[in-house]
Structure 1
């Protein structure tokens, strides 16, 4: 939507017409006065664009950046900052010792000399024992510290006497980038639901998304009286691990969030696997574009897979996949063996298992 007309040609025509009406003089293309008025029209167009932009920044649907932050403040919603990934490190000695070995707080360990994790508290390898576990956080806030598998964080930066080796024993998790505009916009939109003390569906969605800025989709169910079941997906359809589930569980169980009578259960969605098996044919008139069309078909299938896995409870519709493929110029016929229609429940998410895409050749009408 526009608050003011920003069509530059119309603005110029209105200014020239106004001058001609007032002066009674016809302005021709080479007239110096016309050239001056065209410059004025350009400046007016810039000002109108600024007015339009300013007006839009007062609307939730269009606001961004600090303007969106200010709209959130009206409802008590603040943009969540970047968080640091955490993991559990295990420090080893090569043989039992007769004394304790101190692991100072802040001891740094790295997987690649680019990302560094530091211990969050002091720990000791007790005399006679071979190892100790201690939590560590990534020094760089954001999702960059997520996803290091057990054993990958294994280079000691701060050498400790008698410590022989170190490795992470859990996948690093929990790091998130500063909340995106779209995620914040959705939370602001849901904020009025949080004012209810009745535990509305919208309120639970709002609070769940507030627990972590990488949470993309939330489903709220009530399988029995007084029981609220929350299932959620992370960014790009990633399934939450047990640690993230516990973060959300703790957040929702706060006395300021959960109604006293609700029993809240937080889980990852149940994965329903499906296969894609299709053969497509290209019209002979598009024979020179076959390599491009093949690439477009693969992209359309990948987009469909992402479309399914990023939304909880989204039914598998073969018509959706066929429709995406038929939008590609040159794709003439499609034989789809799978998937077939599959109902996906409110606590389930569809995930592609085996994908087979076959090019059937060129065909005529």
Structure 2
């Protein structure tokens, strides 16, 4: 990977923008999961993970605090007439499948890994409730579909709970929603350090994952560049959330050139031909790298470095998916968003299509994006304005918040 100093000639205007963004972000303190925050103009959102320490990442899940409904429907009852009346709030797997024109089957030979921090002791049991509620096939340790390991690939000992339980539930549910027939590997890192998370990604690949989703991030910079090697695995699709702070400093690992950076949208039902409308989500991370050279396959006009993001899916907690969990502040059904939702969903779509070898990087989307919905409205310039161009606004063609767009079937994957 080529890197460049932030003082490289011709980057002065960019660095002025990024410095201002950094100052804004430094003044925006994330909160622990028990404390609501005015998430992107809304007072009904809690950021699941608190502020990250130096050389550490934070998870990017955002939990709605005003949604506490839906008991779910278990087992065979999920397929019975009238079951929909008991379904929880939030988008269902069927909603997302309809919105993105995805097939109901595929990916049976794929294993999607998610790298998270700490143990969620209820992960398998909570996943069972989610999948049975929506009539998805069981995914358990017993039937060989679900596996949970530590960052060394062993079933024991598992690390202690570190407050990422809602994130883990979201990741498991979104992979399930996108690819119900895929196997799922949960790799639990010892800590949120980039060293431990990177080791978890390496282990996921060693254990045979075709796709690895990383729903976390930290500001790019010299202290995280050494971690890039852990996110470069040709033959495996490494996917990461673009971040939840809107336009500004790009998030690692999404900014690494070997990673598919997943931005976010607001997705709502509509009376149009598609049946849905989609715009750039105000929180979706985007930005122009001051450290990493632009890959040869990326050609946007106003950023001389790596530009984030590449592709997107629903991430707005106001239009987010239903998630089931019983740990770390989620006591049953809730609605959870953030680009922590879009990253595992896109990993699942890649698995559904069954060609992870296409995604040693994101170049495939830049070569042919005809199989994506172009998102042409919305902005993520809440804290920082990009001067009105594509870096922080949904526009025709490529833009920072949504990349080339969202899935329209599996043709682009």
Q: Same fold (TM over 0.5)?
A: no
Structure having the larger proportion of residues in strand: 1
Q: Which has the higher contact order (CA 8 A, sep 6+)?
A: 2
Which of the pair is proportionally richer in helix? Answer: 1
Q: Which has the larger radius of gyration?
A: 1
TM-score (norm 2): 0.21
TM-score, with structure 1 as normaliser: 0.24
